[in-house]
């Protein structure tokens, strides 16, 4: 009887709990997992330590057996290595230029932001000085009005005609637009007072009206002496500005068209749906055309009795997502989206826009992409997850629960997702490839697998 083997008990440095699982992908930051490390997405990708040991032993056995029959790799493979020196040199030269560009962009950004804050600071300081000047002006204005209407010496009577003639004589002394502007400002107060005179018919009431206005004006000035204008900018505003700037950078990827780490096994997905090298090559060629990263892990593989709740539990806001579907009619197709399928708001759910999502058929390598005018209807995320998974407003693809029989779906390409056609006939021909010659296709799911890039920095909710 074979003796039971054990392994030493190691503890996770982060959580001080026993390490139980291994995430077998060196591109991940952490490969050893305790229960606290384990997320829903990692459940389907991680293996217990005994299973990992078993897999490692199997590899060593396979390698030892195959190495005895090993042939030399084709010479064509060595051509890749010939590119190494020149490729690295060219890339380093490119990055040196990019570093200069980054210095320029951020120096300019800092300068622009500094100028914005400088101007705002100067505006506030000027506004404070202006507040003092305004209060001083109000006292001077009140004092002049008191002197004007409180003088004991009456003004010489004058007719309207004589006053108008005198005004036109003053115009003869004005030599420029600037002087005329000063004259207008010096006389506007008198014209404003006329609005008080015009309210009353007899002279006594007109004078009383002026005094009542002066009394009200004095009360307003007295109130202003207790006002303390305060700058509304505080630590909360600073935090909001910081968060706004942080979110701008969070929503963007600093580098685009990036070089990504590669692994030998990235050519083959951990899938039970794809069986032959030809099928792997078809899928790889489809998603490579859209620069979809290959470094993905399977986060879900359906069981016959699984429901939508199992799918949503596995996805947990993951993005981007690659779905592979095999129907009971042995048709294989799928879809890719850069958006998560979990709702983040809305009453009944919400639509998420996307220009990168597409539906593909492995049988004919047919691809249906989002129409540009319908990008806002690319993916629907229902509030009630039992509704299903929906792409397009047709819907172009809908996957729903089918009771104890697992999952069912309907595929009707053409509303939101459509081939990039040149003629209507070509479009209809490609659409039919998705559904075996049918414009609308109801299908039953035999197997469904979901792949994602775990903790992808550019994932879009």
pLDDT tens-digit map of 178-228: 999 999 988 888 888 888 888 888 989 988 998 999 999 999 999 999 999
Summarised one tens digit per residue, pLDDT across range 169-180 is 988 889 899 999
Q: If we measure between CA atoms, which residue out of 301, 413, 302, 416 comes closest to residue 360?
A: 413
Highest mean pLDDT among 40-49, 350-359, 400-409, 414-423: 350-359
Q: 348, 381 in Cβ contact below 8 A? A: no
Q: Note the pLDDT of residue 460.
A: 46
- Which of 148, 159, 452 has the alpha carbon at shortest distance from 319? 452
Cα separation, 340 vs 351, whole angstroms: 11
Q: Which residues pair with 47 in a beta bridge?
A: 22
CB-based contact 306:407 (threshold 8 Å): yes
Assign 349 a pLDDT band (cuts: 50, 70, 90). confident
- Residue 385, C-beta contacts closer than 8 angstroms, at least 6 positions apart: 308, 309, 312
d(CA 22, CA 210): 90
Under 8 Å between Cβ of 440 and 410:
yes
Sorting pLDDT into bands at 50, 70 and 90, what band is 2? low
Q: What span, in angstroms and rounded, lies between the C-alpha atoms of 143 and 17?
A: 81
- This prediction's pTM: 0.55
Give the residue with greater pLDDT, 358 vs 295.
358
Q: For residues 33 and 12, is the Cβ–Cβ distance under 8 A?
A: yes
> Which residues, at least 6 apart from 37, have a Cβ–Cβ distance to it below 8 Å?
12, 14, 15, 21, 30
The pair of three-digit structure tokens given for residue 285, joined into one six-digit string: 């060629």
In degrees and rounded to multiples of 5, residue 318 shows phi and psi of: -70, 150
Residue 393 three-state SS: coil
Query: How many other β-carbons are positioned within 10 Å of the β-carbon of residue 182?
Result: 12
Residue 404 is predicted with a pLDDT of 76
Q: CB-based contacts of 273: which residues, under 8 Å, 6+ apart?
A: 324, 325, 326, 332, 447, 449
User: Residues near 438 by Cβ (< 8 Å), separated by ≥ 6?
Assistant: 432
**Phi and psi for 15 in degrees, rounded to 5?**
-115, -5
Contact 373, 399 (CB under 8 A): no
Cβ–Cβ contacts within 10 Å for residue 213, how many? 16
Non-local CB neighbours of 323 within 8 Å, separated by 6+ positions: 334, 335, 336, 448, 449, 450, 451
pLDDT tens profile 407-450: 899 988 888 988 765 455 666 666 666 655 556 788 888 888 88
Average pLDDT over residues 27-39: 80
């Amino acid at each position: 009887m074979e003796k039971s083997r054990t392994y030493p008990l190691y503890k996770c440095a982060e959580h001080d709990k026993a390490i139980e699982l291994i995430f077998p992908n060196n591109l991940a930051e952490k490969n050893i997992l305790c229960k606290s490390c384990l997320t829903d997405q990692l459940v389907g990708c991680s293996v217990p330590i005994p299973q990992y040991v078993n897999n490692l032993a199997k590899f060593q056995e396979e390698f030892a057996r195959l190495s005895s029959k090993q042939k030399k790799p084709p010479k064509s493979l060595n051509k890749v290595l010939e590119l190494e020196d020149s490729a690295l040199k060219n890339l380093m030269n490119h990055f040196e230029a990019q570093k200069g560009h980054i210095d320029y962009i951020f120096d300019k950004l800092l300068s622009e932001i500094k100028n914005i804050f400088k101007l705002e600071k100067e505006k506030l300081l000027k506004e404070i000085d202006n507040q003092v000047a305004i209060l001083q002006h109000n006292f001077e204005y009140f004092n002049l009005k008191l002197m004007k209407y409180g003088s004991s010496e009456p003004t010489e009577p004058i007719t309207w005609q004589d006053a108008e003639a005198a005004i036109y004589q003053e115009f003869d002394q004005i030599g420029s637009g600037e002087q005329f502007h000063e004259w207008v400002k010096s006389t506007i107060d008198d014209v404003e007072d006329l609005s008080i005179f015009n309210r009353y018919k007899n002279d006594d009431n007109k004078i009383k009206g002026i005094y009542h206005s002066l009394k009200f004006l004095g009360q307003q000035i007295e109130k202003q002496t207790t006002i303390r204008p305060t700058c509304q900018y505080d630590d909360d505003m600073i935090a909001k500005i910081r968060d706004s700037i942080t979110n701008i950078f969070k929503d963007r990827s600093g580098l685009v068209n990036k070089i990504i780490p590669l692994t030998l096994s990235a050519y083959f997905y951990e899938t039970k749906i794809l069986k032959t090298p030809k099928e792997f090559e078809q899928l790889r060629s489809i998603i490579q055309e859209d620069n979809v990263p290959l470094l993905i892990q399977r986060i879900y593989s359906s069981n016959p009795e699984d429901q939508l709740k199992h799918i949503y539990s596995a996805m947990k806001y993951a993005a981007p997502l690659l779905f592979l579907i095999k129907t009971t009619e042995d048709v294989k197709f799928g879809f890719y989206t850069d958006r998560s399928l979990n709702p983040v708001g809305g009453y009944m759910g919400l639509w998420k826009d996307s220009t990168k999502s597409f539906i593909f058929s492995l049988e004919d390598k047919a691809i249906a992409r989002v129409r540009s005018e319908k990008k806002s209807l690319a993916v629907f995320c229902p509030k009630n997850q039992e509704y299903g998974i929906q792409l397009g407003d047709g819907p172009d693809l809908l996957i729903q629960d089918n009771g104890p029989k697992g999952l069912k779906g309907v595929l009707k390409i053409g509303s939101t997702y459509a081939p990039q056609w040149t003629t209507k006939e070509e479009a209809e021909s490609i659409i039919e490839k998705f559904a075996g010659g049918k414009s609308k296709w109801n299908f039953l799911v035999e197997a469904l697998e979901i792949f994602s890039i775990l903790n992808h920095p550019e994932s879009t909710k």
